[in-house]
Amino acid sequence: MKSDTPRPVDGRSGHRRTKLAAGAGAAALALLLAACGNSGSGGSAASGSSPGGSGHGTLAIADVAPFSGPDANLGPTYLASCYGAISAIKAAGGVLGHEFSCKSVDTRGEPADAVPAVNQLFASTSNLALVIGCTSDEAASVVPLINGRKMAMFCMTGQSEFDSVHFPYFYRLVPPDLEESYAMVAVAQRLHYKRIALAFGNDIGSQTFVKPAIAGLKKAGIALATNQTLDLKANTYRTEAAAIVHSHPDAIMTEALGTGDATLFSEIKQLNGGKMIPVIGTSAAIAPAFFKSAAAAVGASTLAKNFHADNLVVQTSGPAYQAFKSALLSQQGKVPGATGNFATYLSAPGGVHLYDGINLAALAMLMAKSTSPTVYGPDILKIGNGVPGAQECNSFADCATALKAGKQIRYVGPGGPTNFDGFHDSTGLFQIDTYSANGQVNVAGNITTAQLRALAG
């Protein structure tokens, strides 16, 4: 495979999800809280600390994501990207006299916990300039709240509802969940599987895969062997594992983060005569924490032989990737909560896309000469999509130099070129990933747009 072959990231690509409709009550509550909490403020928290857009002091980037609970690996994954991005920005001279810091906001993956956590963030962080994370576990609840505070956010939610609901301060670089469900079915087609078992966690994020997965399997002519829901608070899934084994699937499509999948795999292997049933995971499984737990459960070599996942196509060579790699690896040992082989974060869910999002926001601040999202937000689109005659640049340092020289720019980072639509969505294409026995992520093929459309039609 060529050295410039695209390579995965998340999203949640490792992005997390939750139905907007299901969270309508929480969203309404968030809007009410935003209105109350924002009375008299008239703008973002950052605008108060940096009137006119220049000055001194550190600006905060908040990583709003689970740092505890079943999806606790997501927060540190995004935090690693934040640490890498701000280190590169600092090395290039900062933004309008400012450096950045990364702040963890633990949502626990629960809307009921996320809303007060975000309210506390705004109450305690006058220097806030950007939010990242806002996963599907809590997005339906916190996006209206963050938007009401006029704060720019790059969210790792795959909720399809955000395709058609406009929040002016919301930006997304990951695809809808239903597309990822179709991508998983496309993987099953590629591997010539005829019977598939579903095993998804009972969290609101994982469950959004189930309905489109069932529809995609039917469209592809693949039989549904069984559909099992895994209680992520349970210590055993022996009943569900037995049902899967007895349904005789060719493979299992799954997402049950935390210890869920690892426990399921171990019990299936025990009940299946010591053999692991092949697995197709979501892009959230391309993460150090997942590999570590799953490999411990069934053996690294066994996992490597029996595992595939969909993931987003990103670059693995060239100036954009090299800048990202250098920035991220410079933070090894410095990111709270980061575990496992740190280099794996180069292809972990959300890593590339949130790094790109932070760069887009920081460059928009430079272009707008302001750190207030109400001012710099529109320039995110100009820098991401480019304008006629714009100069392509691949890192914050190079783009900042071009801006200071009076040039129009288009930032193209390791996640590839962006094409934001009217809802601030810019989604990429999928590829198929596998693991080596040492945890290295490998690209096994690409999934075309035509394949996804055929399953969605």
> Poorest-confidence range of 58-67, 84-93, 377-386, 416-425?
416-425
User: For 125-182, how does the pLDDT look when each residue is reduced to its tens digit (9 = 90+)?
Assistant: 999 999 999 998 899 999 999 999 999 999 998 877 788 888 999 999 888 778 899 9
Give residue-wise pLDDT tens across range 309-366.
998 877 778 999 999 999 999 999 999 998 878 887 887 657 889 999 999 999 999 9
Which tokens go with 212? Answer: 């489109």
177-314+428-456, which class in CATH? Answer: alpha beta
Q: Do domains 7-174+351-411 and 177-314+428-456 have the same CATH topology?
A: yes
Question: What does the alpha-carbon distance between residue 328 and residue 324 come to, in Å, rounded to a whole number?
Answer: 6
CB atoms within 10 A of CB 275: 13
Name the residue among 249, 235, 148, 143 with its Cα closest to residue 196.
249
28 has a pLDDT exceeding 60? no
CB 58 within 8 A of CB 100: yes
Res. 24: pLDDT tops 80: no
| Residue, of 69 and 205, whose pLDDT is higher | 69
Which CATH architecture describes the domain 7-174+351-411? 3-Layer(aba) Sandwich (3.40)
- Rounded to two decimals, the pTM is 0.74
Q: Rounded mean pLDDT of the chain?
A: 87
Domain ranges within the chain, ordered by starting residue: 7-174+351-411, 177-314+428-456
Looking at the DSSP bridge assignments, the partners of residue 254 are 199, 281
The rounded radius of gyration (Å) of the Cα atoms in the chain is 21
- For residue 309, report the phi and psi dihedrals to the nearest 5 degrees: -145, 150
Dihedral sign for Cα atoms in the order 124, 128, 132, 135: positive
Q: Closest Cα to residue 216, out of 171, 177, 259?
A: 177
| pLDDT recorded at residue 54 | 53
